[in-house]
Structure 1
Amino acid sequence: MTSAHDPARTTAAATAAPGTRGGALRRALRVPQILLAAFLLIASALPKFAGQADAVETFELIGWGQWFRYVTGVVEAAGAVALVIPRLAGLAATALIGLMAGAVLTQILVLEPAWALLPAAFAAVLAVIAWDRRAESAQVLRALRGALRR
């Protein structure tokens, strides 16, 4: 008999069979995951790394200096890569929700409030991805905790 918190059962639910309801959600989320990863890497992180004029200007307006542009670019690039690695996708989505919350606040308080809708929409999609990948995220965190105890 297995309990509701049995790791084997959780893993089975996370890797739902293609014909199941969980499998359909996983397949449906794959396209937005890839598109978000591509956007974060190509349209957002790379211009920050390259010192594109509008990225430099935006971070001047924010007032935290250009070092913050690089930090943001690193978080975006790492999140984009992890978002397409199934085992890391849930944790990446969770971390990127935090980044999007910061982007929403920055748009509202410093830049252009109307543009806050884009990171808010991204955060909503990331929340669904994080929820769908919660079993894998728990598995990675358990493994990490076990490795740290050794």
Structure 2
Amino acid sequence: MSAIRMTSISVASGRLARPSRKSAVVQCSKPGPAPGPADGQNNNNKRGLKPGSGAGKRAKQPGLYEVQVVTPPPRSLGIYALPPNTQCGEEIDVEGQGYVVTTVVLQYKLRGGKYVRHHNRLDVQPTGRWLVNQMLENLIKARYVGPTGSQD
């Protein structure tokens, strides 16, 4: 049986990235602080969330999400029941592994003149990989302060 733990990380509000006809993708606009409790407390927020109905099915209902790891090679972890308000920057624990949600994808299809939810997906990164990516982004954005004088 799989156990899922979910922790909220404070992240700036998401922005709507270029929606296509079939999907709306919400992507994190600014990274938040490192995931996990800030003052060393063990945050056991177990909700008893269980895997979905099985492999090969689509996660159509509001609480079901297909969890997919986006680091190369991308792979699916399966369909899991998570709170419907799961958003970017939250840390989830799937089968003992920690992941940070980077993208929430909600796909809709047009049926009978109405848009009907077709598929829900969470793109996640392992927590260690997410931390390394944040550190590298900060290095790229850092301002170089070198020695004064002429640079020949």
Structure with greater Cα Rg:
2
TM-score, scaled to structure 1: 0.27
Bigger strand share: 2
TM-score, scaled to structure 2: 0.27
Bigger helix share: 1
